[in-house]
A and B are shown apart, each in its own frame.
Chain A
């Protein structure tokens, strides 16, 4: 399991693995937002938590189609499916590797980009906490979407179409935490709900992903 995780991480960090692509996308989205809505700092401060959450979500989405596609193409997915490790564990490790290479950098970059958008002072810690709690769910849900579309030649757009509605609850609660935190409101309820969604997704979705992957490998 750890060997698989290390292998995935090594592949992702290698040139062409797509590491950094999500970060660059996140940066560009954040920089473009003031150009499109105008430079008023109070307006930017209001929308900053939502924009940063949406940017992180889209950056995450962007990297999903590489999650399983490379292993599918070179046949290592077939090997993994016949390995003694259950497929449920394999997809969990894949999701974890995706989170470490995509989700975690996004979480760490978000406060820096928050400065660009005049994010109010108390918002930084809440943004960090909400992203830290929410991005694992994004990775796990994304793995399910990637498993659904892995056999398709042009699965990228379909993947987005399938995954975006599934991201709605996570986005709502995550952005709500960040938004409430930024204006100093009580945040424990959405935070608990966000944690609940992440816990449920991490615990249950690997079974669906593995089932779907078995169908695709048939």
Chain B
């Protein structure tokens, strides 16, 4: 797409140009890193040291500052991958497909944090590390979807084919992940009538817990943005390496 400085409508899509994307994110990244780590540090230190214990859950309530933001971002990462996959399928911008690829391992990390903190939290609260609670189960399934998505990217050599196939997988996977979410809800209620394990913390979170939680969520979001920008840059460069090597081979072939 030819770029013109006067064309306002094109400003958003102009970031689909890898060079422009790299230049812009390069300028933004230092600020993003600092902000992300500052928010994370403030939110977690505030939450860990300066909040009271919950009368019911004791000090374990402090895990909320890790558990809720990571769970939130684990889902939002998949949503972001869905959106960028759609953009790739419709508008064929390479940066979009590479951003989806860059986000997936970050999503895996967030999902793992949510699962592990959930298990550690569940141990004293429910007396078990793992319960087939609908929410826990859904996250386990989400984790499997992430694994499959990353494995498919890694398995295919041609970058455009890989981008196409993973995008379709992301679309189909989203539908089935949603179905699984409802299926799992149904399934566990079918097993234990009125399960006593409720993970609904939002209902009774007081302001003392809420404010540091918001800061921690902001920290996770910023960290996600910084990581995705950085990793997308890496993917763009890796793609350029492939293109350069291919061109070099082609020239050698002609010279012979």
State yes or no: do A and B touch (Cβ within 8 Å). yes
- B169: which of A151, A162, A168, A169 is its contact (CB, 8 Å)? A162
Question: How many angstroms between the C-alpha atoms of A151 and B190 in the bound complex?
Answer: 41
Take A148-B165, A208-B171 as given contacts and tell me if A169 and B144 are in contact as well, using a CB distance cutoff of 8 Å.
no
Take A166-B173, A168-B141, A180-B190 as given contacts and tell me if A212 and B165 are in contact as well, using a CB distance cutoff of 8 Å.
yes
Indicate whether B109 reaches chain A with its CB closer than 8 angstroms.
no
Tell me, rounded to whole Å, the shortest Cβ–Cβ distance linking A197 to chain B: 7
Indicate whether B168 reaches chain A with its CB closer than 8 angstroms.
yes
Q: Give chain A's interface residue range (CB within 8 Å of chain B).
A: 20 to 34
Pick out which of these stretches binds chain A: B2-10, B49-57, B145-153, B194-202. Answer: B145-153
Contacts of A211 in B (CB 8 A): 168
Closest residue of chain B to A163, judged by CB? Answer: B148
Indicate whether A105 reaches chain B with its CB closer than 8 angstroms.
no
Q: How many chain B residues have a CB neighbour from A under 8 Å?
A: 27
B141 x A190 contact (CB < 8 A): no
B168 x A158 contact (CB < 8 A): no
- B147: which of A155, A161, A180, A216 is its contact (CB, 8 Å)? A161
Question: How many angstroms between the C-alpha atoms of A165 and B182 in the bound complex?
Answer: 14
Take A152-B156, A161-B151, A216-B165 as given contacts and tell me if A169 and B172 are in contact as well, using a CB distance cutoff of 8 Å.
no
Report A158-201 CB contacts with B as 1/0, cut-off 8 Å.
10011011101100110010001000000001100100010000
Indicate whether A14 reaches chain B with its CB closer than 8 angstroms.
no
B147 x A166 contact (CB < 8 A): no
Take A152-B155, A165-B148 as given contacts and tell me if A205 and B172 are in contact as well, using a CB distance cutoff of 8 Å.
yes
Take A165-B144, A165-B145, A165-B176 as given contacts and tell me if A155 and B155 are in contact as well, using a CB distance cutoff of 8 Å.
yes
> 11 additional contacts, CB 8 Å, given A151-B161, A190-B190?
A148-B169, A164-B144, A165-B173, A166-B173, A168-B184, A169-B176, A169-B180, A172-B186, A190-B186, A212-B164, A215-B165
Interface on B for A, CB 8 Å cutoff? 141, 144-145, 147-148, 151-152, 155-156, 161, 164-165, 168-169, 171-173, 176-177, 179-180, 182-184, 186-187, 190
Interface on A for B, CB 8 Å cutoff? 144, 148-149, 151-152, 155, 158, 161-162, 164-166, 168-169, 172-173, 176, 180, 189-190, 193, 197, 205, 208, 211-212, 215-216, 218
Q: List 24 A-B contacts (CB under 8 A).
A: A144-B172, A148-B168, A151-B156, A152-B155, A152-B156, A155-B155, A162-B151, A165-B173, A168-B179, A168-B183, A169-B179, A169-B183, A172-B180, A173-B183, A173-B186, A176-B187, A176-B190, A180-B190, A190-B190, A193-B183, A208-B168, A212-B164, A216-B161, A216-B165
